[in-house]
Amino acid sequence: MRICIPTETDEGLKAVVYAHFGSAPYFTIYDTDKDSIEIINNTDMLHAHGACQPTKTLGAKKIDTLVCLGMGVRAVQRLNASRIKAYRIGQGTVEEVINQFKQGLLEEITLESACSQHRCH
């Protein structure tokens, strides 16, 4: 399984989860099968509000899951259309995300629980 986490930096396991999914400077991808990390630049980080195109940057990376602080309905719809599930974490590092995901402690983000106008439920 490949887990994508939007991050502030390219520091691997120590990188902090970025507050806004679509405008994160980096996406840190953890592969659970290979126990490896790949870091990519977000080429769509300067999009207009509501115009996030997550599959534009992540499409070729074969992501199964995305973990972030929250995201809007359109981003959830686009990810789900690509068969990618999204999960919410409070704050933390990539390492904390991976540990919480493995323990089944993360809440799935659905259309009903998606963020609205930069506010999350």
* Domain 2-108 is found in CATH 3.40.50.12280: no
What is the predicted pLDDT for the residue at 111? 78
Amino acid type, 2: R
Strands 65-68 and 26-31: unpaired
* Predicted TM-score (pTM) above 0.95: no
What is the domain partition of the chain in residue ranges?
2-108
Q: Which of 76-80, 81-85, 100-104, 110-114 has the lowest mean pLDDT?
A: 110-114
The confidence score (pLDDT) of residue 65 equals 93
pLDDT of residue 21: 78
From 100, 120, 117, select the one nearest 109 (Cα to Cα). 120
Q: What is the pLDDT of residue 61?
A: 83
Q: Using the predicted structure, report yes or no on whether residue 114 has a pLDDT greater than 90.
A: no
- For 50-86, what is each residue's pLDDT tens digit? 555 555 667 678 899 999 888 888 888 888 888 999 9
Q: Residue 117: is its pLDDT beyond 60?
A: no
